[in-house]
Amino acid sequence: MLIFDKYERLSNITAWLPPSDGTTKILVKKSHLIASTLIMSGVAGYLFSKNTIRTALIFPFVFGFIYLMIDFFGCYSIPMIVLVLLWGIITTIGLNFSQLWITSIATDAPQFSNGLFVSFSNLGITLGTFIGGLFITDLGLKQIAWSGIMLLGIGVIMIVWRVRCYDLKKSLIN
């Protein structure tokens, strides 16, 4: 859910940009797509192979920093293009990370765990879009980054809880 409120924003984020001929807005959306599909594969694999738990704990803070920068630089074209590119990379790393953690819990049932990933991704998209929409409706588009930061706070709590549960299970097995 902490990732998915962005879907509400991505369709509206270009409203922050200064008026242009439309090329800048298309470039911003395309940069997100390129970052999400091309760049993230290598970055995600490298980070996960180095230290999965540290990556998980750092992820929300990096994402929060990007949200703050979007809030601060939202009306400038060039910084927004760079930030949306970074946003795409971080979002896709988060999706890969979510799938990695869900499938690592149920290694004996990979189809079941992948089904859980898809189901919870859909739930996250639904709830994140709803919460992002509430922020836009009640506070305006300029305050939308704060919905992401709020959801990141919940995400940090869930990540710490998952790490502690995993460590507890691991120590009970040994």
Domain-by-domain residue ranges, the chain?
Answer: 6-173
Reported as a pLDDT band with limits 50, 70 and 90, residue 1 is: very low
Polymer length of the chain: 174
DSSP assignment string, 73-111: HTT-HHHHHHHHHHHHHHHHHHHHHHHHHHHHH-TT-HH
Mean pLDDT of 32-55: 71
Reported as a pLDDT band with limits 50, 70 and 90, residue 172 is: very low
In the numeric block, the tokens 């971080």 are attached to: 90
pLDDT one-digit tens code per residue, 108-155: 888 888 888 888 888 888 888 888 888 888 888 777 788 888 888 998
pTM for this predicted structure: 0.68
Q: What is the pLDDT of residue 108?
A: 84
Backbone angles phi, psi at 75, to 5 degrees: -95, 5
pLDDT at 171 over 50: no
Cα separation values, 61 from 46, 64, 152, Å: 19, 5, 8
Cα separation values, 110 from 92, 103, 163, Å: 21, 6, 21
Reported as a pLDDT band with limits 50, 70 and 90, residue 174 is: very low
Q: What is the pLDDT of residue 106?
A: 76
Nearest Cα residue to 60 out of 128, 165, 166, 160: 160
DSSP state of 1: -
Reported as a pLDDT band with limits 50, 70 and 90, residue 157 is: very high
Nearest Cα residue to 86 out of 39, 54, 53, 45: 39
pLDDT at 161 over 50: yes
pLDDT one-digit tens code per residue, 12-24: 555 555 555 566 6
Angle of helix 6-13 relative to helix 77-105, nearest 10 degrees?
160
Nearest Cα residue to 29 out of 94, 95, 85, 89: 85
Q: What is the pLDDT of residue 15?
A: 54
Q: 151: alpha, beta or left, given left = phi > 0 and alpha = psi -120 to 50?
A: alpha
pLDDT one-digit tens code per residue, 61-109: 988 898 889 888 877 878 887 887 788 778 777 877 888 778 777 778 8
